[in-house]
Amino acid sequence: MLTFIRKRSVASLISLVGLVILVFFLSRLTGDPTDLYLPIDATDEMRAQFREIYGLNDPLIVQFGHYVGDLVQLDFGESIRKARPAIDVVLEAFVWTLQLAVITMALVTAAAIVVGSLAAFRVGGFFDRVSGVLSLVAASAPDFWIAIVAIVVFAVGLGWLPTSGTGTPWHWILPIAVLFIRPFGLIVQVVRGSMINALSSAYVKTARAKGIKTRKIIFVHALRNAMLPIITVIGDQAASLLNGAVVIETIFGFPGVGKLMIDSILQRDFTVVLASIMVTALAIFVMNLLIDLAYAALDPRIRH
Amino acid sequence: MFGKAITGGALLLATSLTPVWAQDNKAVTIVLNEEVDVLEPCMATRSNIGRVILGNVNETLTELDVRGDQGLMPRLAESWEQMEDGSWRFHLRQGVTFSDGSTFDAQDVKHSFDRVFDPTITCEAARYFGGMTVAANVVDDQTIDFVVDPVQPILPLLLSLVTIVPAETPIEFVRDPVGTGPYAVTEWSPGQQIVLTRRDDYWGEAPEVTQATYVVRTDPAVRAAMVEAGEADIAPTISQDDATNTATDIPYLNSETVYLRLDASQAPVNDVRVRRAINMAIDREAFIGTLVPQDALLATAIYPPTTQGWNPDVQVPAYDPEGAKALLEEARADGVPVDTPITIFARTANFPNVTEVMEAIQQMLQEAGFTVELQMVEVAEHEVYYSKPYPTDRGVYIIAAMHDNRMGDPSFSAYFKYHSEGRQSGISDPHVDDLITRASAATGEERNKLWSELQAYVHDEVVADVLLFHMVGFARVAERIDWTPTIATNSQLQLSEIGFKE
Amino acid sequence: MSNVPAMTDGTVLPDEPSAPRRFLRMLWADKFALAATIILLVVVLMAVFGPALLGDVAQKQNLRGRNAPPFDWERGWLWWMGADSLGRPLLARIIVAARNTITVAAGAVLCSALVGTALGLVAGYASRRVGEAIMRLADVIMSFPSLLLAVIVLYILGPSVANVVVVLAITRIPVYLRTTRAEVLEIRERMFVSAARVMGASSRRIVLRHILPVVLPTLMTIATLDFAYVMLAESALSFLGIGIQPPEITWGLMIAQGKEHLTRAWWLSFWPGLAIILTTLSLNLLSNWMRIALDPTQRWRLEMRGRSNG
């Protein structure tokens, strides 16, 4: 397994380098930050000076050389907007995103597996129908609707929860509840589908014939068989959360990496874009590695 | 299962935390709409930064009165006069200390100035001094001379934009601004909050507010909800749709003017009849109270009516689609290619309802016989079309934009928008250039007269652009707070102006 | 549906009615699936005929009638859902917008599903080196922010329906790729695949005839849900000024425009949102029904009910 992890790390490092090169050059095709940073009535001297300070006059390849030179010394560059090291800005935001993602995905995984499995156990039954429709509505409703309505009802109307912000644990309830909905709806459906297959497999039928308890059949025997696509989809959803939950961050004032990334892209604050991509990509690579290890653990026939 | 957890938690919360939100002390919470990137005094003219520190943490030598009609008022300078050679002498206030304990004197002013123009950093305040060289010469501790080339009649007004920092301040951007203002920054957790606390050793009258907490919510509905729920006291900008409670929601002219810039170098827009037809084809009245707030004003200049040299005789073009058609036909008969497709470029989220306003304008122009397309673009692309050098490969286009001039003088707009060298100018007219140059150098009544003349000439003779609305913003203010927004609220919110009812 | 009978030929018993009739009967038996089919047919009809029939009405502005509330039975049926912030009838706009919406969503979902599945099959079945390379490529796509991709593509190429489809399709490739590959890794170890291999079936045949049918149901579930995801992602792009722009309309764009008015005129974003939900729901119910109807070992569930109902 260690060999596998080592090989994978090398491969991931290569992907990361590729990603950085790709983003570095492609993002510079989308314009120059000078006119976005400076006010519209800035003087020409200010513009020239700005380009000089941030090295924007150099040929692209020279700029890239500087960037890589700094990067190997773990210097990710300065954020133009925030006048601070880009990596500080990104890590500060990523901590919030990581917490949101981990808590939400833990809740989603637990809830979706239970609901999806129960739905699959009696296909077409009442529970299956109700949970099916509800989870589909959840997966396809615009999240800002739910967020705004939740604020209007729970914070303004009933006064139970704070509208937004980050001060106390109560501040986390609404954002996590809203964030929970879409991946939950999607994963319930995948769990259900995958479990229907697993429950009809010969393996489970044997277990049933042996007289093993229903609950044990569902949650031990069938689930283990059904887990591969479930884990994959959980990984996909977790990856999108690690890239930031823009709507939630915007509405609830959570200082996460999604809003940061959007703002830096729109403002062409390239160092922040690159630093946040490196951080989130690293997180996603690690997660994919864990998922691949989980495949092998769940199904010993899968060898790396 | 999850629902129960929420309800249970919420009940617990309702009993334990409510008192903290319902502050009955003299601390206020202000919810802003834009992230504060840096807290650098020389960037205070950028509105998201100025709202927090300008006049609260850092002060300026002079200050424009936006509540009354006193014009320019002394702040850190007690008085000033223009010397015979055209330079300006400022007499500074005594007994003023910075929040780090050091005493304020002329050296601090000089350093603040040098810092703004230092080539190793990009300070936004420098933008107001384009085309001038400014030298600050210390006469003694309480006196400083500014030698400006060319002579600058509105230098005292420009000095209301330069914040004063201690002479010890390093040149690079700071994260803990030190100033002479009534408040000092006591906490800054980026992305979460900024806290300003009242200083005991402020030179002026002590303001009522003891502490101010700034939070940022980009969604307008959430800002409105926060004041309603008692979590915030002031939301300087909420949306027109949310401003439904007359007791707490106050409209204010926000110094922004929406307009369409026409590029008079391109056919068919180079024909004045076509430009006039565009103006006549737009039913400005129809927008008021519908897509644009009821209190917005129809514009006849690119700056708001509170500006010096305002010309009350300039009239809004009457809505006359038939007249527009007739003008177009006339132009067509003279060989003007009036059927050339024109694209309107506008910026998403530039102002509330911008897409709808542009769609309506597109339809009005089409009804008058123009071939018009609309394209909404993000800010970086918008800038490509907005500023010179204009792209030449995008066909004929009109750009919709919003311009802010809260400074009370047309010189902050005229050169950029109308001079043939101006970065966003669509015209090249020697008479306009001459008027701008003369008005900028003039003083007193002469200055006002020249600006008035320019306003009328640009609007009626040149028909340089399509002026639409002086925009209105809405602030939501908690009932316990005694405060009204001003035309400068977008860029400055002095805590000393906040009082408490009862 | 035309290839349905062919796929099930082997299991049709001689005394049973013809395959299409059998399917209709099974559809009739499942009222949820029936409703879903009807809704989808309506959406398709809207997409095909909407722009031609109602294109002008949907663009005609009337500032005095802006934000007219829904359920005003006095006015024509087009106004039953109320009017938008320019006084245009929402119902007409939803009908007209169906074409762009479905084009973008179907285009993006089909492209990403096809490319993702194909790459996933290769990654799962080909040599380890190729598989590894494809997976790292998926990692790169997964960590490339979709918004940045959108800004780059649309900044350089300009916003158009086709470009939006490309952007959305690329960002959705990894989920199909990873799901397919994970399943292939497991399935290829199963008995029947080993048997096929021993019997000398080509890799291509094993992948397409033995492995793909097993993976397909999971992919269908994801693809139908991705419909909603793609429509909402397109809405986010429009909102940022890098997606489809007015006067073109899509349901996502309508939602984005209605967002500003959510607290006062809920109907502006509610109806297009409902359209997205209903479409997704129908697609999913239908695909759930199809996977049962197409699965010889599951089909009895529908037929049993069909018999007891009829």
Q: Report pLDDT digits (tens) over B209-227.
A: 999 999 999 888 889 999 9
Hey, which chains touch B, using 3+ CB pairs under 8 Å?
A, C
Cross-strand pairs, C274 = none
Q: Of B305-314, C4-13, C221-230, which one has max mean pLDDT?
A: B305-314
A222 secondary structure, DSSP code: I
Average pLDDT over residues B327-353: 91
Same domain, residue pair A149 and A239? yes
Q: Report pLDDT for A156.
A: 85
Q: Which residues of A touch B229 (CB under 8 A)?
A: 155-156, 159, 162-163
Put residue B324 in one of left, alpha, beta given phi > 0 → left and psi -120 to 50 → alpha: alpha
How many other C-beta atoms are found inside a 10 Å radius of the C-beta of residue B69?
Answer: 7
Q: Which residues of B touch C263 (CB under 8 A)?
A: 221, 224, 241-242
Best probe of the C interface among A232, A267, A282, A287, by most C CBs < 10 A, is A232
B465 secondary structure, DSSP code: E
Q: Give the type of residue at C256.
A: A
Domain assignment present for residue A102? The answer is yes
Domain assignment present for residue A83? The answer is no
Same domain, residue pair A42 and A137? no
Nearest to B122 among A50, A111, A255 (CB): A50
- C113 to each of B239, B263, C172, C179, how far by Cα in Å? 41, 47, 8, 11
Q: Report pLDDT for C74.
A: 75
B404: distance to nearest CA of chain C, Å? 22
Q: Report pLDDT for C15.
A: 56
- A300 to each of A201, A240, C257, how far by Cα in Å? 18, 29, 51
Contact predicate A258/A244, CB 8 Å: yes
Q: Which residues of B touch C264 (CB under 8 A)?
A: 241-242, 244
User: Are the beta carbons of C246 and B374 separated by less than 8 Å?
Assistant: yes
Contact predicate C90/C111, CB 8 Å: no
Question: Can you tell me which residue has the tokens 């951080």?
Answer: A279
Contact predicate C212/C180, CB 8 Å: no
CATH number assigned to the domain covering C21-305: 1.10.3720.10
User: In this structure, what token pair is assigned to residue A49?
Assistant: 């000076």
Backbone angles phi, psi at C240, to 5 degrees: -85, 0
> Could you give the CA distance from residue B241 to residue B219 in angstroms, rounded to a whole number?
13
Cis peptide before C247 (omega within 30 of 0): yes
pLDDT tens per residue, range A75-87: 888 888 888 899 9
Backbone angles phi, psi at B465, to 5 degrees: -155, -175
> Could you give the CA distance from residue A204 to residue A206 in angstroms, rounded to a whole number?
5
Residues recorded for chain A: 304
Q: Report pLDDT for B81.
A: 92
Q: Report pLDDT for B12.
A: 43
Same domain, residue pair A99 and A165? yes
Distant-in-sequence, close-in-space partners of A100: CB < 8 Å, separation ≥ 6: A175, A176, A179, A241, A245, A248, A254, A256
Contact predicate C172/C109, CB 8 Å: yes
Same domain, residue pair A192 and A110? yes
Q: Per-domain residue ranges for chain C?
A: 21-305
Contact predicate B247/B289, CB 8 Å: no
> Could you give the CA distance from residue C41 to residue C157 in angstroms, rounded to a whole number?
34
SS3 B471: strand
**pLDDT of B438 over the 60 cut:** yes
Q: Which uninterrupted H or E stretch holds B196?
A: strand B193-198
Best probe of the B interface among C64, C67, C86, C90, by most B CBs < 10 A, is C86
Range in A29-33, A249-253, B83-87, B418-422 the model is least confident about: A29-33
Q: Report pLDDT for B401.
A: 94
Cis peptide before C246 (omega within 30 of 0): no
Domain assignment present for residue A80? The answer is no
Q: Report pLDDT for B70.
A: 83
Given 3-state DSSP classes, what are the helix, strand and coil percentages for chain A, each rounded to the nearest 5?
Answer: 75, 0, 20
Range in A211-225, B96-110, B321-335, B356-370 the model is least confident about: A211-225
Q: Give the type of residue at B488.
A: A
Domain assignment present for residue A258? The answer is yes
**pLDDT of B389 over the 50 cut:** yes
**pLDDT of C196 over the 90 cut:** no
**pLDDT of B341 over the 80 cut:** yes
Q: Report pLDDT for A27.
A: 84
pLDDT > 90 in chain B, percent = 60
Q: Which of B182, B184, B178, B131 is nearest to B158 (CA)?
A: B131
> Could you give the CA distance from residue B433 to residue A42 in angstroms, rounded to a whole number?
19
- B347 to each of B134, B215, B217, B383, B433, how far by Cα in Å? 36, 26, 21, 9, 29
Q: Report pLDDT for C6.
A: 42
Backbone angles phi, psi at B238, to 5 degrees: -125, 175
User: Are the beta carbons of C269 and A197 separated by less than 8 Å?
Assistant: no
**pLDDT of B278 over the 90 cut:** yes
pLDDT tens per residue, range B169-213: 998 888 889 999 999 999 998 888 999 999 999 999 999 999 999
Given 3-state DSSP classes, what are the helix, strand and coil percentages for chain B, each rounded to the nearest 5?
Answer: 30, 25, 45
**pLDDT of C114 over the 70 cut:** yes
C248: distance to nearest CA of chain A, Å? 20
Q: Report pLDDT for A134.
A: 87
Q: Which residue has the higher pLDDT, C153 or B19?
A: C153
pLDDT tens per residue, range A150-198: 888 888 888 888 888 887 888 898 999 999 988 898 899 888 888 887 7
Cβ burial of A50 (10 Å; 0-12, 13-18, 19+) is buried
Q: Which of A24, A40, A72 is the last residue of a domain?
A: A72
Same domain, residue pair A40 and A98? no
Distant-in-sequence, close-in-space partners of B387: CB < 8 Å, separation ≥ 6: A35, A40, B423, B424
**pLDDT of B1 over the 50 cut:** no
**Would an 8 Å CB–CB cutoff place B348 in contact with chain C?**
yes
Range in A36-50, B106-120, B248-262 the model is least confident about: A36-50
Sheet hosting strand B133-140, strand order edge to edge: B77-82, B88-92, B143-149, B133-140
Same domain, residue pair A119 and A165? yes
pLDDT tens per residue, range A11-41: 888 888 888 898 888 888 887 888 788 887 7
Q: Report pLDDT for C298.
A: 65
User: Are the beta carbons of C148 and A285 separated by less than 8 Å?
Assistant: no
Backbone angles phi, psi at B74, to 5 degrees: -70, 145
Distant-in-sequence, close-in-space partners of A149: CB < 8 Å, separation ≥ 6: none
A-C contacts (CB, under 8 Å): 172
How many other C-beta atoms are found inside a 10 Å radius of the C-beta of residue B471?
Answer: 23
B205 secondary structure, DSSP code: P
Contact predicate B91/B77, CB 8 Å: yes
pLDDT > 90 in chain C, percent = 7
User: Are the beta carbons of B290 and C66 separated by less than 8 Å?
Assistant: yes
User: In this structure, what token pair is assigned to residue B179?
Assistant: 């100033």
Distant-in-sequence, close-in-space partners of B219: CB < 8 Å, separation ≥ 6: A148, A250, A251
Q: Of C16-25, C205-214, C235-244, which one has max mean pLDDT?
A: C205-214
How many other C-beta atoms are found inside a 10 Å radius of the C-beta of residue C303?
Answer: 15
> Could you give the CA distance from residue B110 to residue B137 in angstroms, rounded to a whole number?
7
Q: Which of C274, A250, B147 is nearest to A261 (CA)?
A: A250
Domain count, chain A: 2
Q: Report pLDDT for B19.
A: 41
**Would an 8 Å CB–CB cutoff place B476 in contact with chain C?**
no
- B91 to each of A108, B62, B299, how far by Cα in Å? 67, 11, 39
Q: Report pLDDT for C300.
A: 67
Residue C53 CA, distance from chain mean position: 25
Domain assignment present for residue A40? The answer is yes
pLDDT tens per residue, range A194-225: 888 777 777 777 777 777 777 777 777 777 77
**pLDDT of B104 over the 70 cut:** yes
Give the pairing of strands B499-500 and B465-477. Answer: unpaired
Nearest to B217 among A92, A154, A164 (CB): A164
pLDDT tens per residue, range A127-158: 888 888 888 888 788 887 888 888 888 888 88
**pLDDT of C1 over the 50 cut:** no
Q: Report pLDDT for B94.
A: 92
pLDDT tens per residue, range C232-279: 888 778 777 677 777 788 888 888 888 778 777 888 888 888 888 888
> Could you give the CA distance from residue B232 to residue B225 in angstroms, rounded to a whole number?
9
Rg (CA), chain A: 24
Same domain, residue pair A121 and A268? yes
Q: Give the type of residue at B113.
A: F
**Closest chain A residue to the Cα of C129, Cα to Cα:** A11
User: In this structure, what token pair is assigned to residue A43?
Assistant: 């003087």
> Could you give the CA distance from residue B41 to residue B299 in angstroms, rounded to a whole number?
33
HSE of A270 in the Cβ direction (CA atoms, 13 Å)?
23
Q: Report pLDDT for C241.
A: 67
When pLDDT is cut at 50, 70 and 90, the band that residue C17 belongs to is: low
Name the average pLDDT for chain A.
85
Contact predicate A165/A101, CB 8 Å: no
**CATH number of the CATH domain containing A153:** 1.10.3720.10
Q: Report pLDDT for C307.
A: 46
Domain assignment present for residue A203? The answer is yes
- C304 to each of A244, C29, C38, C310, how far by Cα in Å? 47, 9, 23, 10
Q: Which range marks the domain in which residue A268 is found?
A: 92-303
Contact predicate B262/B271, CB 8 Å: no
Residues recorded for chain C: 310
> Could you give the CA distance from residue B178 to residue B115 in angstroms, rounded to a whole number?
14
ipTM for the assembly? 0.86
User: In this structure, what token pair is assigned to residue B254?
Assistant: 């926000």
Name the average pLDDT for chain C.
79
- C250 to each of A107, B89, B188, C257, C269, how far by Cα in Å? 34, 62, 42, 11, 12
Cis peptide before C145 (omega within 30 of 0): no
When pLDDT is cut at 50, 70 and 90, the band that residue C210 belongs to is: confident
Residue B176 CA, distance from chain mean position: 25
Backbone angles phi, psi at B136, to 5 degrees: -100, 120
Distant-in-sequence, close-in-space partners of A169: CB < 8 Å, separation ≥ 6: none
When pLDDT is cut at 50, 70 and 90, the band that residue C185 belongs to is: confident
**pLDDT of B21 over the 70 cut:** no
Nearest to C263 among B242, B287, B349 (CB): B242
pLDDT > 70 in chain B, percent = 95
Average pLDDT over residues B63-85: 89
Residues recorded for chain B: 502
Question: Can you tell me which residue has the tokens 């040098």?
Answer: B114
Contact predicate C143/A277, CB 8 Å: yes
pLDDT tens per residue, range C279-294: 888 888 888 787 777 7
* Chain B from 349 to 378: CB within 8 A of any C CB: 349, 352-353, 355-356, 358-360, 362-363, 374-378
